[in-house]
Chains A and B, each alone.
Chain A
């Protein structure tokens, strides 16, 4: 039986792929990205060598994960920071919410964090009566629309300036035109007030740097910097897999993340934070907390075939490369992580049975694997998930019977030829009787969404025999 998530996915995918306006918006954005990345890669002497090196560093990090996590924790504590280990979303949300409540926090500013989305921190804070404002411009926009982010790197990619202007006029008031300059200025004015009045800043983390004992956060806008400088508490949330061994690894990862993410040589702000304000420092929060989240990651680590999926640096390159993502967009997936990486990861984080359909949201063309800057073999992992779903999760009864019948048929030449003849005849009859796409059409599932299947009189083998004889 297909899950609710699968049915919803198919419904939204059909809707979005037929929305030509939506497709044009994605295409413009992705074309822009493609050109920038081509230029960005040309700044490397050897992009392939960079990918291989990143892959090796992350493999080392994962192979020695416990060692590096302990090293990281110790350094953070030495500077007076707190490290909280959360087994799942509920524990992470509870810790952060409790912290906010116990410190009398009324307003939280968030910087773009996919992990905060993953654990649904926003609703948890709001339930505790705490105002929660996303400060990345794209996230600020989708939050005003009560939508999830559309893309890992470009959350409001699906919206035009006109739509954003209408939204700002309604929610912020002081907007006169749809000039992006003006829209950004309006958001800056609104968010500045919020930054200076918030008591807690919550950020994601791009890298946990073990030997430095610091979290590395990357943004172009600088919202993370305001959110970690002005409020009196800073909470950084990270999956345990975000670890890298050495500070110097960033000399490679920062340019690679920027190039794969947007095509930039390096992102504007690459911030490193290792603790609260120290006694000799001018400013900074009084408290610094790092939440290390497991939430299914340690189980994925035990899967030798797919362990490397934990090397992902969330650059979004595989989304932009994917012909499925480019057609249906980010919201159709209905998951925190969309695109190829989301399709690989979600069954591990949220259950193979309910999310096995995502393994089929791929043409297996391998564009994602080619685009991945840390060389994750994404399309093969989709295939492995399909295999695991057949072996361990439930597949529909009709599919299982169908494959048994198909197998039995294929094992005899007589049965195979007979079945071919009957099927071709049935398709011809169905087409003649205008029954295409109904239950009586053997190619019904195909014909529901496509033109009728032409049905030749002779089989491929018969045609091949004739061709062979003509030689």
Chain B
């Protein structure tokens, strides 16, 4: 079990306690809650629209088999080289479509290499409100969604939630927060506007984020 340093810790906590005990903040009346975000009406429609805005490629397919075919097609535009895939039964079935054409590294064989051309992972949730993908360490690890220039996400419609509040509540209630050392809400691909406020894609992470969303 990891240890904390005792003396400084005690002095800081004592000061914090004294600051609040001797001079508490006067209670302010809490106003009745107001609606902060407009409600999401049609989650799928909203997700697709947000993807357009944040430059995520969203491909809706009828089922996982069709997703496999669509992923195979998408891989044609990606240079030859290793594809890193999260080791899960679902993604094994998706990868059957192109397993003989591409060099594959499964996440059970170690983290993605510096020269990986693309990574394919599942996700914890899709968020309609912001067009985001929530991934965790269980989705092929930390590097899976950031090292390669292309990140492909395979998701199904029941993973789509209306908003951030629902997404965070869902992962917390099913224990995904305590089970993982890592979660990341990914919205679009890596970008920077640090030079003259001009938007450039692919700063450190993926240049492309592609979501394959199957309806069944």
Chain A residues engaging chain B, CB cutoff 8 angstroms: 28-29, 32-33, 43-46, 49-50, 52-53, 56, 59, 62-63, 65-66, 69-70, 73, 76-77, 79-87, 91, 95, 135-138, 141, 154-157, 159-161, 164, 180-181, 183-185, 187-188, 191-192, 195-196, 212, 214, 220-223, 225-226, 228-230, 240, 247-248, 250-252, 254-255, 262, 265-278, 281-284, 288, 292, 294, 298-299, 301-302, 304, 307
* B residues less than 8 Å from A28 (CB atoms): 196-197
User: Knowing that A63-B24, A272-B182, A274-B180 are A-B contacts, what are 19 other residue pairs whose CB atoms are under 8 Å apart, sorted by A's residue number?
Assistant: A28-B197, A32-B197, A45-B35, A46-B36, A63-B25, A66-B16, A76-B2, A77-B4, A185-B202, A195-B204, A214-B177, A226-B143, A226-B146, A228-B142, A266-B185, A268-B191, A281-B141, A284-B137, A301-B20
Contact assessment for B146 and A282 in the assembled complex, using a CB-CB cutoff below 8 Å: no
Instruction: Say whether, besides A49-B35, A282-B144, A283-B111, A183 and B19 are in contact (CB < 8 Å).
Output: no
Interface positions of B from 163 to 189, Cβ below 8 Å from A: 163-165, 167-169, 172, 177, 180-189
Instruction: Say whether, besides A282-B111, A298-B12, A251 and B168 are in contact (CB < 8 Å).
Output: yes
Interface membership of B198, Cβ < 8 A? yes
Contact of A225 among B24, B31, B108, B142 (CB under 8 A): B142
* B residues less than 8 Å from A56 (CB atoms): 28, 30
* B residues less than 8 Å from A157 (CB atoms): 197
Chain B proximity of A70: nearest CB distance (Å) = 8
Pairs of residues from A and B, 4 with the lowest C-beta to C-beta distance, nearest first: A222-B205, A282-B141, A302-B19, A221-B203
Contact of A221 among B23, B33, B142, B191 (CB under 8 A): B191
- Most chain A CB atoms below 10 A, which of B15, B50, B196: B196
Q: Complex Cα distance A136/B111, Å?
A: 23
B1-43 near A? 1/0 per residue, CB < 8 Å: 1111100110111011111101111001011011111100000
Contact assessment for B181 and A273 in the assembled complex, using a CB-CB cutoff below 8 Å: yes
B interface, over-half SS: loop
* B residues less than 8 Å from A228 (CB atoms): 142, 182
Chain B residues engaging chain A, CB cutoff 8 angstroms: 1-5, 8-9, 11-13, 15-20, 22-25, 28, 30-31, 33-38, 50, 53-54, 107-108, 110-111, 114, 130, 132, 137-138, 140-147, 163-165, 167-169, 172, 177, 180-198, 200, 202-206
* Chain A residue with the shortest CB-CB distance to B15: A298
Contact assessment for B194 and A138 in the assembled complex, using a CB-CB cutoff below 8 Å: yes
Instruction: Say whether, besides A160-B196, A214-B177, A283 and B2 are in contact (CB < 8 Å).
Output: no
| 8 CB-based A-B contacts, threshold 8 Å | A44-B38, A63-B25, A225-B145, A226-B143, A226-B146, A251-B163, A276-B181, A282-B143
Chain A proximity of B68: nearest CB distance (Å) = 23
- Most chain A CB atoms below 10 A, which of B35, B53, B184: B184
Chain B proximity of A285: nearest CB distance (Å) = 9
Chain A proximity of B195: nearest CB distance (Å) = 4
Q: Complex Cα distance A33/B193, Å?
A: 11
* A residues less than 8 Å from B177 (CB atoms): 212, 214, 247, 272, 274
* Chain B residue with the shortest CB-CB distance to A187: B203
Contact of A240 among B12, B34, B50, B181 (CB under 8 A): B12
Chain A proximity of B189: nearest CB distance (Å) = 7
* B residues less than 8 Å from A43 (CB atoms): 37-38
Q: Complex Cα distance A292/B138, Å?
A: 28
Instruction: Say whether, besides A44-B37, A66-B16, A282-B107, A272 and B183 are in contact (CB < 8 Å).
Output: yes
* A residues less than 8 Å from B3 (CB atoms): 82
Contact assessment for A275 and B181 in the assembled complex, using a CB-CB cutoff below 8 Å: yes
* A residues less than 8 Å from B33 (CB atoms): 53
* A residues less than 8 Å from B164 (CB atoms): 250-251, 254-255, 266
Contact of A180 among B20, B107, B181, B196 (CB under 8 A): B196
Q: Complex Cα distance A385/B204, Å?
A: 42
* B residues less than 8 Å from A70 (CB atoms): 13
* B residues less than 8 Å from A276 (CB atoms): 181
Contact assessment for A248 and B143 in the assembled complex, using a CB-CB cutoff below 8 Å: no
Contact of B34 among A46, A180, A183, A254 (CB under 8 A): A46
* Chain A residue with the shortest CB-CB distance to B106: A282
- Most chain A CB atoms below 10 A, which of B108, B181, B186: B181
Contact of B12 among A138, A141, A164, A294 (CB under 8 A): A294
* Chain B residue with the shortest CB-CB distance to A88: B8
* Chain B residue with the shortest CB-CB distance to A295: B12
* B residues less than 8 Å from A307 (CB atoms): 25
* Chain B residue with the shortest CB-CB distance to A192: B114
Contact of B147 among A82, A161, A226, A275 (CB under 8 A): A226
Contact assessment for B168 and A278 in the assembled complex, using a CB-CB cutoff below 8 Å: no
* B residues less than 8 Å from A141 (CB atoms): 194-195
* Chain A residue with the shortest CB-CB distance to B164: A251
- Most chain A CB atoms below 10 A, which of B5, B19, B35, B147: B19
Chain B proximity of A153: nearest CB distance (Å) = 10
Instruction: Say whether, besides A160-B196, A277-B181, A85 and B12 are in contact (CB < 8 Å).
Output: yes
* B residues less than 8 Å from A250 (CB atoms): 164, 168
Chain A proximity of B122: nearest CB distance (Å) = 13
* B residues less than 8 Å from A247 (CB atoms): 168, 172, 177
Contact assessment for B16 and A271 in the assembled complex, using a CB-CB cutoff below 8 Å: no
Chain B proximity of A124: nearest CB distance (Å) = 17
Contact assessment for B146 and A222 in the assembled complex, using a CB-CB cutoff below 8 Å: yes
* B residues less than 8 Å from A138 (CB atoms): 192, 194
* Chain B residue with the shortest CB-CB distance to A211: B172
Instruction: Say whether, besides A247-B168, A266-B130, A156 and B1 are in contact (CB < 8 Å).
Output: no
Contact of A181 among B35, B36, B200 (CB under 8 A): B200
Contact of B8 among A50, A85, A255 (CB under 8 A): A85
* A residues less than 8 Å from B203 (CB atoms): 137, 184, 187-188, 220-223
Q: Complex Cα distance A62/B192, Å?
A: 33
Contact assessment for B198 and A180 in the assembled complex, using a CB-CB cutoff below 8 Å: yes
Contact assessment for B137 and A282 in the assembled complex, using a CB-CB cutoff below 8 Å: yes
Q: Complex Cα distance A172/B107, Å?
A: 34
* Chain A residue with the shortest CB-CB distance to B181: A275
* A residues less than 8 Å from B25 (CB atoms): 59, 62-63, 304, 307
